[in-house]
Amino acid sequence: MLIPHVSQRRINRLIADDGRSFMLALDAHNFSAKANNVDRTVSAVPRMAELGLDAVLVPYGISCRKAEELRDVALVLRCDASTDVFDPTVPDTQIVNSALDAVCVGADAVVVMTFMGAAHAPKIQDATQTLRREASEYGLPLIVESLPYSYAGTGDEGSNPDNVAVAARFAEELGADIVKTRLTGTDADARILKAVTVPVVALGGPKTDLAGYLAYVSRCLDAGAAGVAVGRNIVDDPDPVAKVAALSAIIHSGATVDQALAIYKQK
């Protein structure tokens, strides 16, 4: 039987015509006990889609319950979850959904997390390969969120750009069509992005003020990132719709940080 790799139509749903992708991570319930603002943000997705949001990363439950709110964006099914959501460091993960589940909810892609160099890395890598094979059978793109050692990655080898570059390329070799990983917003990102030949989107980013975060995203794009996959920096913002408008202006319209700040204040 001829097995397709991925559907270009689905890739085109994830990445806009300008080659950029603006993803919103609404999957915090799979990894944290502190996800109070997710439902508020889900209800605002239709407005965010009008402003340029391309895709959402969601768990199975939200994909089923909120189909109407999510109909105007690409849907990426989060197929893994923390083994202990009460531990904010995300100590280990497990697969909780399959590529067939993604097909059933009408998803355009699947996403899974890996921690290269962690004690549990072999288990996660094996699970990722299983998901890749399943996704290929249905033509679903695979997004691999690849981080060295751990999710936290602050002040340790997990945040070293050289290590991130190795982890990002390893995700590509596992079969990722898009890599989601930690970027710095500095010149060091060039080492990470040069190591990978598939699109790379920056995950999350630092907790900082609005201007600082917009500048971070702008620098990531200037370095060559294909886009961002933002969670709490939008979900926990006092005005998530305004934050999406400002970020979309940078991602899809080439706005400066000052222009994006003005857009935020106008919303």
Give pLDDT tens digits for 55-69: 999 999 999 999 999
Q: By percentage, how much of the chain surpasses pLDDT 70?
A: 97
Span between the terminal Cα atoms of the chain, in Å: 52
Q: Which residues contact 85 (CB under 8 A, 6 or more apart)?
A: 29, 30, 31, 32, 33
CA distances 234 to 160, 198, 228, 229, Å, are 25, 25, 12, 10
Rounded percentage of the chain residues whose pLDDT exceeds 90: 87
Taking the mean position of all CA atoms in its chain, how far away is CA 251? Answer: 15
Question: For this structure, is 207 an active site residue?
Answer: no
- pLDDT digits over 132-187, tens only? 999 999 999 999 999 998 887 666 787 899 999 999 999 999 999 999 999 999 99
Q: Please state the pTM of the whole predicted model.
A: 0.95
Q: Are 89 and 123 a contacting pair, CB within 8 Å?
A: no
Residue 43 confidence (pLDDT) above 60: yes
Q: In whole angstroms, give the CA distance from residue 19 to residue 226.
A: 7
| Annotated catalytic residue within 34, 66, 180, 243 | 180
Q: Is the pLDDT of residue 237 over 60?
A: yes
Predicted confidence (pLDDT) at residue 267 exceeds the cutoff of 80: no
Tokens linked to 195? 């190591």
For the domain 8-207+224-232, what is the CATH superfamily, name and number?
Aldolase class I (3.20.20.70)
